[in-house]
Chains A and B, each alone.
Chain A
């Protein structure tokens, strides 16, 4: 009951957020443009002609979905703390675990609802143009996993931050760091330290943004032409199915681990003296 009530409040808060709605709208518009105008050779190649457009959609999700989750998640607990509302909630007969879980469920639901709405539009157009529905569903599923992972990361940072702006700054820093650690980081490590392929594969899968990217490209692009050397190596090691399963596992692990750290942070955080 308590978790549900707190979650409902978070959903309403997130959907009232200007940044959240703008981010979701831009993602939907960008995805629609890719599907409408990115599959030029589809009449000849069928769905394969949309592969690159869908891979582009995956790239778009890689940039936008973390932000869609980070904005409301970082604002949730830290924003409530800054406004004094968190202390009042914690003064009620609730546990900190219920407050964290309610917040997580609420933010994740808001992210899920906006992604499902966006993909509803994008997917309908894509399927109408010959893309198999299963692929669109797979892309949606992985996008939701990415959203869940960054919801957890955002709430972890938010649970220990005294202000909303501090939590959001930390969230954006983490996001940029993970993006930079992606292809560029892998290439840099390869050149600088000459790391073995297995280390680079682990590095790629351990980064939620990269795990999402390589899994999506492996599924959506039959030629895996934009997968990069580490992705190709991963397919060689794990196979397409194994890579997808490993990437999903990585995203689930990020969701659970960051949520666990966030819960622990909230449980041990001493509210500042008012």
Chain B
């Protein structure tokens, strides 16, 4: 169980966590979302006692902090970018299981399941492992026995699809009593693993609820991809400025991407046709997680949202070329 009350973290004048209140119960699988710099990694570092903070923070009712060895004993951690120790795979496993006073058998079995058998790969230096294999090695250690909390900081960021599936399967198979807090930018991971989503933005909790509610937050929006010849892209962006239903326009390599209110896509294309702009191709799709996060972060500047509720607020129309910042 993780509990935070009024958790604050500042780096100089920059406030990263601004009075965060949070409760995650034993066995919950929670996705931690937020744009880059939202404070996801900082929250992990506070839980691990790697950085001082203000407010209260506990794991299994034990206060977290730099001297909280027992908290760290209960937490398995996979960092965003696994650091490369100047060790072989076997030395790495041996060192970090020994620090925890555990045998290497469990980690060795998990590595075997990940396609990294110690018998065959143990002598291989960590620096020679691919990013995906390195990530799996860290996950194999983090999933060790006796952990009541698993902190995963974008653990699949550098993995190929097959490795990503292996990792997600391993996390999904973690002890049901283990609380999992997964920082990610991938909607499919949120859907596969998390029953609950926390969205951080501006140091605060902007959303706390199931993933379906999060997706519903952007159900009224579609992303329209429009391919145009190079010189006409700027003109196209200008043409859509102020057009009813158009919220954002992003210039891209071969065309423009337009965030439009549902049902307003054809109107946008008609506006381009009226200007005589030659559209060579187009398609429409639902917004990606990043887009949803940008919208919610942009909407919510008024304070934290209660658990199980989505922040209310109507989408704000944005002129062409603008991009909302968190």
Contact = CB atoms under 8 A, between A and B. Distances in A.
Interface of A: 1-2, 5-6, 9, 13, 16, 83-85, 87-96, 267, 270-271, 273-274
B80 A274 contact: yes
Interface of B: 11, 16, 41-42, 45, 48-52, 66-67, 69-70, 72-73, 75, 77, 79-87, 91, 95-96, 98-101
A9 to B, nearest CB: 6
Contact of A271 (B16, B51, B81): B51
10 contacts: A9-B95, A84-B81, A91-B75, A92-B96, A93-B73, A94-B69, A271-B51, A273-B16, A273-B42, A274-B81
B83 A87 contact: yes
A270 B51 contact: yes
Contacts, number: 68
B100 A92 contact: yes
Given A87-B83, A93-B69, A94-B69, 5 more contacts: A6-B99, A9-B91, A84-B83, A87-B79, A92-B96
A85 B99 CA distance: 14
Contacts of B50: 87, 90-91, 271
A94 B42 CA distance: 20
Contacts of B85: 83, 85
Contacts of B42: 273
B199 to A, nearest CB: 20
Contacts of A1: 98-99, 101
A270 B77 contact: no
Given A5-B98, A84-B81, A88-B79, A273 B11 contact: yes
B64 to A, nearest CB: 12
A94 B80 CA distance: 21
Contacts of B86: 13, 16
A84 B66 contact: no
A96 B68 CA distance: 11
Nearest to B151: A91
B99 A9 contact: no
Contacts of A270: 51-52
B66 A92 contact: no
B41 A274 contact: yes
Contacts of B70: 93
Contacts of A89: 99
Contact of A91 (B11, B72, B84, B87): B72
Q: Which of B16, B66, B91 has the largest number of chain A CB atoms within 10 A?
A: B66
| 4 shortest interchain CB distances as A-B pairs | A84-B83, A93-B73, A85-B83, A93-B72
A5 B69 contact: no
Contacts of A2: 98-99
B101 A267 contact: no
A1 B69 CA distance: 15
Contacts of B45: 271
A87 B87 CA distance: 16
Interface centre among B11, B41, B67, B95 (most CB of A within 10 A): B95
Given A13-B86, A87-B79, A88-B79, A5 B101 contact: no
A104 to B, nearest CB: 17
B151 to A, nearest CB: 9
A13 B85 CA distance: 10
Contact of B69 (A83, A84, A95, A271): A95
A271 to B, nearest CB: 6
| Most chain B beta carbons < 10 A, residue from A2, A90, A93 | A93
Contact of B84 (A6, A83, A96): A83
Nearest to B79: A88
Contacts of A13: 86
